[in-house]
Copies of this chain bind each other. A is one copy, B any other.
Amino acid sequence: MKFITTPVKGMNDFLPEDMRLREHVLGLIRETYATYGFDQIETPAMEHIENLTGRQGGENEKLIFKVLKRGRELEKGMETGELADCGLRYDLTVPLARYYANNKNSLPTPLKALQMGSVWRADKPQKGRFRQFTQCDIDIIGDGSIMAEIELIAATSKMLTRIFSEVGIREFTVHINDRRILKAMAASAGFTPEQYDDVFIILDKMDKIGLEGVKESLLKKEYDPEAVESYIGLLNQITPGIKCGEFCGRIGGEYLDGRVASNMDAIMDSVSCMIDPSVRLEFDPTLVRGMSYYTGTIFEISIDGYNFSIAGGGRYDEMIGRFSNQQVPACGFSIGFERIVTILKDLNWTDEGNRKERRAFLVDERVEPGKLLEVFKLATAMREQGMIVTVQPLKKNAKFQVETLEKCGYREIRKVYSDTLLQ
């Protein structure tokens, strides 16, 4: 039988240097959120197929890797559903909702949860899109107050500052908005609730197509021209640095509970005093966020100069409780882990700064056991001092061996022959 040496399509083998970067980033994420009182939790890779389908997963539900029932063989007239009762998780949100329902009596309230793990999507593989990739979600469950938003945004900004300052990047922008403001804007302009989702999809493209493009797209959809005119007029009033309270005043009080704006201002004030001064915090009434399950505040973080977000999230008070049939407030941030790793790799990140001293002993095969023992004694002493030490046979192609070790960060590489003096 033939062996296939490449990984399964769309999935990756990670080399030692890949892993150093990935583990370093995971470590900083873990460490930073721990400081804010977040606890790591974990769910299995597989979920019941019933939980994965017919949910909020949207497009992702079409991409489920289904797993065959144990010991089940194909029988005549059988349907696929009878063969597979489980699937690999395609995100960490559905598992979190199940996890919370299953364990809520053993969990603290609020639960501040950090999840880092693989998800699988039977997607068409392409550059930067894989069939197995790491997701990193941070959620606060059971806190309906603005403290949840403040903690999440502050912790995530801090984490990104820590990670990216290693490659000289310190400028980020946090965009904040609220789904209720989005809806109030549309309502005050005269759109009907059924039109909101389509209007938001168009608004979401504003950074690419501009205000004129938004207007054109809305008119092409044959919406009431007066509503479009009024909507564009509202968007026209967005000036850089505009305060939420000021902007919401223009929408009109009948469309929006006044507490939305005052909460937004309170969130921004508190976050401002918690983050690095080089992180900009911006109320952005054009921020949409794709998923329809958001119910309140939404947010996104982008690196200045890059054309995409690297973290995004919001409040979704109606989803977590669905498994247990009760209302449970929830607010979360999803970190684009693979994107972060790709950027760091592109910017030639090295662990040079964090690296322990690395030494190597390359031992000739003719070295007698007594001398070998001396090498190991020396290596042990050096390891106890905190150094990274490797002891390995001296290869015939010693030049290549030394170069490879140097590339891995080994600095003092000693060849040991029978007559080498070790001190």
Residues of A within 8 A of B (CB): 1-8, 11-16, 18-20, 22-23, 30, 34-37, 39-48, 50-51, 53-54, 65-68, 70-71, 73-74, 76, 78-80, 83-84, 86, 88, 98-99, 101-103, 106-110, 112-113, 118, 120, 122, 132, 143-147, 150-151, 154, 262, 265-266, 269-270, 273-274, 322-324, 356, 358, 360, 363, 365, 369, 372-373, 376-377, 379-380, 383, 386-393, 395, 401, 404-405, 408
A7 and B43 form a contact (CB under 8 A): yes
* Cβ 8 A contact of A51, one of B4, B13, B323, B388: B4
CB-CB under 8 A from A70, the residues of chain B are: 65, 122
* Cβ 8 A contact of A147, one of B19, B41, B363, B401: B363
CB-CB under 8 A from A74, the residues of chain B are: 74, 78-80, 83
B106 and A380 form a contact (CB under 8 A): no
Q: From A2, A78, A274, name the one whose CB has the most chain B CB atoms within 10 angstroms.
A: A274
CB-CB under 8 A from A40, the residues of chain B are: 16, 19-20, 23
B372 and A147 form a contact (CB under 8 A): yes
A68 and B84 form a contact (CB under 8 A): yes
* Cβ 8 A contact of A44, one of B12, B37, B83, B109: B12
A266 and B393 form a contact (CB under 8 A): no
A109 and B324 form a contact (CB under 8 A): no
CB-CB under 8 A from A379, the residues of chain B are: 274
A98 and B39 form a contact (CB under 8 A): no
5 contacts between A and B (CB under 8 A): A3-B98, A13-B44, A37-B358, A37-B390, A46-B120
CB-CB under 8 A from A42, the residues of chain B are: 13-14, 18-19, 22
B86 and A83 form a contact (CB under 8 A): no
- Bound Cα distance from A273 to B377, whole angstroms: 7
| A13-B118 contact given A36-B383, A50-B3, A401-B109, CB 8 Å threshold | no
Give the Cβ gap from A199 to chain B, nearest Cβ, in Å. Answer: 30
| A37-B68 contact given A44-B132, A83-B83, CB 8 Å threshold | no
- Bound Cα distance from A269 to B13, whole angstroms: 37
Give the Cβ gap from A367 to chain B, nearest Cβ, in Å. Answer: 10
* Cβ 8 A contact of A48, one of B8, B47, B392, B395: B8
- Bound Cα distance from A372 to B80, whole angstroms: 55
Residue in B closest to A15 when the chains form the complex, CB atoms: B106
Give the Cβ gap from A8 to chain B, nearest Cβ, in Å. Answer: 5
CB-CB under 8 A from A88, the residues of chain B are: 45, 67
- Bound Cα distance from A340 to B16, whole angstroms: 26
CB-CB under 8 A from A101, the residues of chain B are: 3, 5
